[in-house]
Amino acid sequence: MMGKEILIEAAALGKSFPGAAGDELQVLEGIDLQLRAGEIVALLGRSGSGKSTLLRTLAGLIAPSSGSVRYRGTELRGANPGTAMVFQSFALMPWLTVQDNVELGLAARQVAPRERTERALAAIDLIGLDGFESAYPKELSGGMRQRVGFARALVLEPDVLLMDEPFSALDVLTAENLRGELISLWSGERFPTKAVCVVTHNIEEAVQLADRVVVLGANPGHLVAEVEIGLERPRDKKSPRFAALVERLYDHLTGREPGVDVPEPAEATPTARPLPPVSVGGLAGLTEIVGASGGRAELPDIAGELNFEIDDLFPLVDAATMLDLLTVDGGELALTTTGKEFTGADIQRSKEIFAAQVRDRAPLVRTIVRALASSQNGKLRADFFLDLLRRGFPSTEARQQLDTAIDWGRYGELYDYDTDSGQLTVP
Ligand code: ADP
Ligand code: MG
């Protein structure tokens, strides 16, 4: 692959947005990335790690704050002429037919009407939409709508097809089918692009599709790892090599990166170890499930049982490991001694255990408990913490951090929160 021509190159790319507190929110930092002819690259990262922002800078839809993006050696000034985008939300014009939606980008590029029609028909045929040319988006299923999304991008014959979580709004079966079709098109002769870059938060999807997976870490978004997939197509999800790659990527995603220190929860600040946004009920549910299967369970099995994607369980698993209720090794979850005690205890005892764990190991809860202890009358306005959090998080996330800390601390009876006065109080 190294010999292949570089189509898009990001160098030392950084992006920041104006933050809520009048400061800058750094979203991407030091990204070096090359997309080459002949490859499918997956950008894998959790929600909020900056995947969409990175993809949009590669497309030239937003300008970098530092560093550069080049297309075939030329630095971008505005939209990247060698790309077309497929969106999670399909982004179709509801008042236009399939045919007109597909022609839209060609019209913008001043292609003559007759050629527009011909090329659109060919793209519609390629992606399996023939017969639906005059249908409107609302008459189509989600899967068919996303086919229109693909046709609209492919008709432009871009060097690089950019896709932002194109399958995540579809049901599992439809997504699986469309992924399969995309791969067989890619492997065939008629696919009109030289490279594909697909954003996903789904590990299995990344391993299914990509030649190379680039893992993004958050706060600010940075490259964590690059993993060559090297499996033959079509790929067998049940094969040991597939599973080994999923595990390896899982380790990268959960921050077990060699050489990068994640501070221990007991020592970290609230911004260095954000609270995973999960409820106490969800946490207790996860530990109960692991408890019910003898204290150990495989993550993919739990996900399968609950009809979740593995990724949906990440925040719960993160929270449970942060609080030392569970350990995770590769894909296996195991209850800790504390975790066993927590699941087996009656409600009062489980509250006590939970209180001790969050006070020691949830940095924001610890911060609140300490601040309340040193306050005049055991009362503090929640806004005080919100202002502090806004220095490290975008404002919706700051609110979410505080809400999670309130939920956890209340359950453990460490403090109470009065919605009317906005006060946190020692009970
Ligand atoms: P992902 O696609 O990985 O979920 P995004 O790239 O959408 O992540 O967002 C990364 C971070 O950048 C988030 O915290 C988000 O709130 C912030 N962000 C994205 N776009 C903007 C914007 N236009 N203004 C301010 N903040 C933004
Ligand atoms: Mg996104």
Task: Tell me how far apart the alpha carbons of residues 247 and 80 are, in angstroms, rounded to a whole number.
Answer: 35
Q: Per the structure block, which two tokens stand in for 66?
A: 């530092």
Q: Is 17 in the pocket of ligand 1 (CB under 6 A)?
A: yes
pLDDT band, very low/low/confident/very high, at 224 (cuts 50, 70, 90) = very high
The class level of CATH for 280-425 reads mainly alpha
Residues constituting the chain:
427
Q: Is 49 in the pocket of ligand 1 (CB under 6 A)?
A: yes
- The dihedral region occupied by 307, where left means phi > 0, alpha psi between -120 and 50, and beta the remainder, is left
Q: Is the pLDDT of residue 298 over 90?
A: no
| Atom 10 of ligand 1, residue of closest alpha carbon | 50
Q: Is the pLDDT of residue 330 over 80?
A: no
Q: Is 53 in the pocket of ligand 1 (CB under 6 A)?
A: yes
pLDDT tens digits along 336-379: 999 999 999 999 999 999 999 999 999 999 999 999 999 989 99
Q: Measured from the CA of 221, which atom of ligand 1 is nearest?
A: 10
> Strand 74-75 and strand 24-36: pairing?
unpaired
pLDDT tens digits along 166-179: 999 898 889 999 99
All structural domains of the chain with their residue ranges: 6-254, 280-425
CA of 9 to the centre of ligand 1 (A): 21
Residue where the block lists tokens 């008629």: 190
Residue where the block lists tokens 């692991």: 290
* Class of residue 325 by CB neighbours under 10 A (exposed 0-12, middle 13-18, buried 19+): buried
In sequence order, which residues have a C-beta less than 8 Å from that of residue 346 and are 6 or more positions away? none
CA of 28 to the centre of ligand 1 (A): 9
Q: What is the mean pLDDT of the chain?
A: 91
CA of 220 to the centre of ligand 1 (A): 10
pLDDT tens digits along 236-284: 887 888 888 988 898 888 765 454 556 777 888 888 888 999 999 989 9
The class level of CATH for 6-254 reads alpha beta
CA of 298 to the centre of ligand 1 (A): 32
Q: Is 50 in the pocket of ligand 1 (CB under 6 A)?
A: yes
Tell me how far CA of residue 41 lies from CA of 208, 241, 272, 273, 410, in angstroms.
11, 19, 29, 29, 44
CA of 67 to the centre of ligand 1 (A): 18
Q: Is 95 in the pocket of ligand 1 (CB under 6 A)?
A: no
| Atom 6 of ligand 1, residue of closest alpha carbon | 50
Global pTM exceeds 0.75: no
pLDDT band, very low/low/confident/very high, at 310 (cuts 50, 70, 90) = low
| Atom 21 of ligand 1, residue of closest alpha carbon | 17
> Strand 423-425 and strand 6-18: pairing?
unpaired
At residue 381, what are phi and psi to the nearest 5 degrees?
Answer: -75, 135
Ligand nearest to the backbone CA of 221: 1
State how far Cα 427 lies from the chain centre: 38
